[in-house]
Amino acid sequence: MELKHEEALMAMVLDGAAPSPELKSWLATAAGKRELAAYQKALGALNRLYGEARPPELPTVYYSALATPIGKIFVAATDTGLVCVSFAHNEADFAEEMRGQLRARFVKSAEKVAGVAAQLRDYFAGKRRVFDLPLDLRLTTPFQRQVLLAALQIPCGQTLTYAGLAQRIGKPKAARAVGQALGRNPIPIVIPCHRVLASDGSLRGYSGGRGIETKAQLLQLEGAWAR
């Protein structure tokens, strides 16, 4: 069974999740019917041996939208900390983005992310230059985490090159990999990947919002860039 079918089948049987059209189509095939029967048989055997199987408790992700001078953004947090800042076009796109990355319960709650929203509002109003927020970096790899934590050390109002950041983490030949890690930053703005520039000092490589235009806006807000 393909991994994507296995995970979807587990979610359907254990969590009661609605099957996607793709899973429905697959379950209608002979192979799908065999796999579902085998899965239900194995689950029944486990239930008889150990009692009713209970799915592991899913983490809860709280999220809300926030209007900013650079456009609407979405923020999401777990009980551990801020897990995502997204430039998704709308709530449906944001929900799809998050469900593609996290197996969790998603709850819309402005109250639960009020602290994050307050600090972001202060930042955009020019009243805050350093964020004081717990972070949940579960969406990052160990290398990406190393890069992002180094980026956090770049002071507001200053910039660094990709090569310079690579040197800071002790991997001077990894400038390209550093750029790729920053491009997948799940918590932009708060983790300031926008403060990292090309070796010639130009803006390039920003995937959030309107790309380089948004990067320039953030740096202008911080006093680190002038057109």
b vs e for 34-66, b when ≥16 Cβ sit within 10 Å of the residue's Cβ? Answer: ebbeebeeeeeeeeeeeeeeeeeeeeebbbbbb
Strands 73-77 and 60-66: what pairing? antiparallel
Q: Which residues pair with 77 in a beta bridge?
A: 62, 82
Does 193 participate in catalysis according to the annotation? Answer: yes
Q: What is the per-residue DSSP string for 203-214?
A: -----STTTHHH
SS3 63: strand
CA distances from 187 to 93, 94, 221 (A): 17, 14, 18
Among candidate residues 193, 196, 221, 224, the one labeled active-site is 193
Instruction: Provide φ and ψ at 116, rounded to 5°.
Output: -65, -50
The torsion angles phi and psi of 187, rounded to 5 degrees, stand at -130, 60
Whether the Cβ atoms of residue 9 and residue 35 lie closer than 8 Å to each other: yes
The token duo for 63 is 């999220």
- List, by residue number, the catalytic residues: 193
